[in-house]
């Protein structure tokens, strides 16, 4: 059976795109699923320690509130399982310097900063460790992460060839196109945690009236017709995608039901509020009981370590390290 793995980096606030593209698919089928908070990845760029700590707990609480069930899937915080970093080093020994340097995200992110952390260069190898540690074979990612999954695949193949069959070969699977939610103020770029676009981002913890205001102010396109065509009508199509994601309909089928942009926006606000209100309510309840969340994380880390220690021992033995 294919094991899926999805990571959430606790930098920025979780938003509707994360919910539709990553959280809802986990919740809909949690067998053979690894869902983790990639807190170590949050240290690759400038970070505030207090923010990372607060967000890690917030993300864990939100994922549980959204229906991630730690009894059915593997649910953990990356840094609670030290084998992630242990395997990271071992995999570095099977990765070329040039390979890491060629990563487009590294080039883009390092180009924007004066001081580049070494971990920004090596983070795709940590990501490979995240994947290979659990024999995950299907990694649902957007385009920006496909190259990193390809690298994990190359490293796994090389390691297996050189040192013997150790890792399952992973592949990137693209989530449905319709699940790619765009920024409400700029429908050409995706809704994202790190983009400084508060008005364009529907945060999972936004209050209902804030969600409504953001949707009502979303940019639309020239003309007045409500039609689904992401190329010529990116703003309206994004609203239809959001509505479709919330109601389970197809965006093409929804379009003819509206004659005015304002009616579409009202329907989208109602649907987003109806989708996110139960999550927010459960979040507020769970946030008042952090001990329950921490217990889930402790038990998740213990389960994960069971798998991870075996895998790391296998890799160490294959590489020629003397067993302790």
Binding residue for ligand ATP, selected from 3, 4, 5, 17, defined by CB under 6 A: 17
d(Cα 153, Cα 19) in Å, to the nearest integer? 26
Active site residue 109: yes
Binding ligand ATP (rule: CB under 6 A), the pick from 4, 11, 261, 265 is 11
Choose, by CB under 6 A, the member of 117, 193, 282, 305 that binds ligand ATP. 193
What is the smallest separation between the CB atom of 139 and ligand ATP, expressed in angstroms? 9
The C-alpha atoms of residue 139 and residue 80 are separated, in whole angstroms, by 21
> Which of 5, 20, 94, 120 is close enough to bind ligand ATP by CB under 6 A?
20
Q: Among 107, 109, 214, 250, which one carries the catalytic annotation? A: 109
Cα separation, 214 vs 218, in Å, equals: 6
Residue nearer to ligand ATP on the CB measure, 131 or 141: 141
For 117, residues 6+ apart whose C-beta sits below 8 A from its C-beta are 43, 44, 45
- List the beta strands (DSSP E) in 94-180: 138-140, 171-173
- The dihedral region occupied by 175, where left means phi > 0, alpha psi between -120 and 50, and beta the remainder, is beta
Give the residue with the Cβ less far from ligand ATP, 98 or 111: 111
User: Which residue, 134 or 159, is less far from ligand ATP as judged by CB?
Assistant: 134
| C-beta contacts of 227-236 below 8 A and 24+ residues apart | 227/255, 228/252, 228/254, 228/255, 234/182, 234/187, 234/188, 235/187, 236/261, 236/264
For ligand ATP, give the closer residue by CB, 47 or 316: 47
Nearest-CA neighbor of 304 among 23, 11, 37? 37
Q: For ligand ATP, which residue of 82, 142, 208, 234 counts as binding (CB under 6 A)?
A: 142
Size of the site for ligand ATP (CB under 6 A): 21
Residues that bind ligand ATP (CB under 6 A): 6, 8-9, 11-12, 17-18, 20-22, 140-142, 179-181, 190-194
Query: Which are the catalytic amino acids?
Result: 109, 190, 193
């Amino acid at each position: 059976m294919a094991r899926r793995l999805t990571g959430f980096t606790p930098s920025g606030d979780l938003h509707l795109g994360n919910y539709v593209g990553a959280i809802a698919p986990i919740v809909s089928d949690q067998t053979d699923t690894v869902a983790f908070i990639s807190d170590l990845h949050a240290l690759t760029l400038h970070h505030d320690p207090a923010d990372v700590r607060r967000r890690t707990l917030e993300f864990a609480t939100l994922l549980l509130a959204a229906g991630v069930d730690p009894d059915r899937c593997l649910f953990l915080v990356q840094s609670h399982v030290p084998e992630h970093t242990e395997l990271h080093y071992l995999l570095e020994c099977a990765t070329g310097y040039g390979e890491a340097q060629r990563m487009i995200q590294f080039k883009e992110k390092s180009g924007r900063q004066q001081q580049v952390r070494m971990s920004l260069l090596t983070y795709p190898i940590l990501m490979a460790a995240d994947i290979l540690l659990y024999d995950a074979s299907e990694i649902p990612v957007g385009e920006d992460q496909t190259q990193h999954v390809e690298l994990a695949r190359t490293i796994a193949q090389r390691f297996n060839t050189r040192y013997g069959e150790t890792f399952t070969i992973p592949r990137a699977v693209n989530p449905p196109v319709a699940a790619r939610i765009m920024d409400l103020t700029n429908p050409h770029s995706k809704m994202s945690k790190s983009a400084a676009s508060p008005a364009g981002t529907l945060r999972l913890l936004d209050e209902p009236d804030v969600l409504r205001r953001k949707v009502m102010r979303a940019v639309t396109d020239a003309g007045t017709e409500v039609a689904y065509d992401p190329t010529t009508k990116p703003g309206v199509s994004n609203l239809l995608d959001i509505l479709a994601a919330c109601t389970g309909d197809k965006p093409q089928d929804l379009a003819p039901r509206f004659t005015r942009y304002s009616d579409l926006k009202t329907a989208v606000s109602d649907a987003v509020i109806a989708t996110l209100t139960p999550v927010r309510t459960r979040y507020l309840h769970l946030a008042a009981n952090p001990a329950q969340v921490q217990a889930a994380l402790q038990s998740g880390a213990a389960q994960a370590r069971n798998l991870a220690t075996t895998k790391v021992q296998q890799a160490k033995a294959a590489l020629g390290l003397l067993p302790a």
